[in-house]
Amino acid sequence: MNGIYFDNNATTRVDPAVVEAMLPYFTEQFGNPSSMHSFGNKVGLAIKKARMQVQELLGAEHDSEVVFTSCGTESDSTALLSALRAQPERREIITTTVEHPAILTLCTHLEKEGYKVHLLSVDEKGRLDLEAYKKLLTEQVAVVSVMWANNETGTYFPVVEMAELAHACGAMFHTDAVQIAGKVPLNLKDTQIDMLSLSGHKLHAPKGIGVLYLKRGTRFRPLLRGGHQERGRRAGTENTASIVGLGKAAELALASMAFENTEIARLRDKLETSILAKVPRSFVTGDPSNRLPNTSNIAFEFIEGEAILLLLNKFGIAASSGSACTSGSLEPSHVMRAMGVPYTAAHGTVRFSLSRYSTEAEVDRVIQVVPEIIQQLRKLSPYWDGAGPVTDPEKVFAPTYA
Ligand X SMILES: Cc1ncc(COP(=O)(O)O)c(C=O)c1O
Indicate which residues carry an active-site annotation: 325
Binding partner selected for residue 73 from ligand X, another protein, none, CB under the kind-specific 5 to 8 Å limit: ligand X
Binding partner selected for residue 210 from ligand X, another protein, none, CB under the kind-specific 5 to 8 Å limit: ligand X
Q: Which amino acid makes up residue 258?
A: A
Q: Binding to ligand X by residue 67, rule CB under 6 A?
A: no
User: Closest Cα to residue 334, out of 94, 71, 73, 95?
Assistant: 95
Please list the residues that pair with 252 across neighbouring strands: none
HSE of 292, CA atoms in CB hemisphere, 13 A: 28
With CB under 6 A as the contact rule, the residue among 154, 210, 293, 332 that binds ligand X is 210
Report helix, strand or coil for 95.
strand
The CB-of-329 to another protein minimum distance in angstroms stands at: 7
60 contacts 189 by C-beta, under 8 angstroms: yes
Binding partner selected for residue 347 from another protein, ligand X, none, CB under the kind-specific 5 to 8 Å limit: another protein
275 contacts 350 by C-beta, under 8 angstroms: no
With CB under 6 A as the contact rule, the residue among 55, 82, 96, 179 that binds ligand X is 179
Tell me whether residue 36 or residue 398 sits nearer to another protein (CB atom).
398
Report helix, strand or coil for 34.
coil
Looking at residue 232, what DSSP letter applies? G
Residues that contact another protein, how many (by CB under 8 A): 33
- Where does 160-209 show beta strands of DSSP type E? 172-176, 195-199
Tell me whether residue 16 or residue 399 sits nearer to another protein (CB atom).
399
**Region of 65-73, 257-265, 299-307, 357-365 interacting with ligand X (CB under 6 A):** 65-73
**Region of 109-117, 161-169, 174-182, 383-391 interacting with ligand X (CB under 6 A):** 174-182
247 contacts 182 by C-beta, under 8 angstroms: no
The CB-of-371 to another protein minimum distance in angstroms stands at: 18
27 contacts 44 by C-beta, under 8 angstroms: no
The CB-of-72 to another protein minimum distance in angstroms stands at: 22
Binding partner selected for residue 199 from ligand X, another protein, none, CB under the kind-specific 5 to 8 Å limit: ligand X
Q: Binding to ligand X by residue 73, rule CB under 6 A?
A: yes
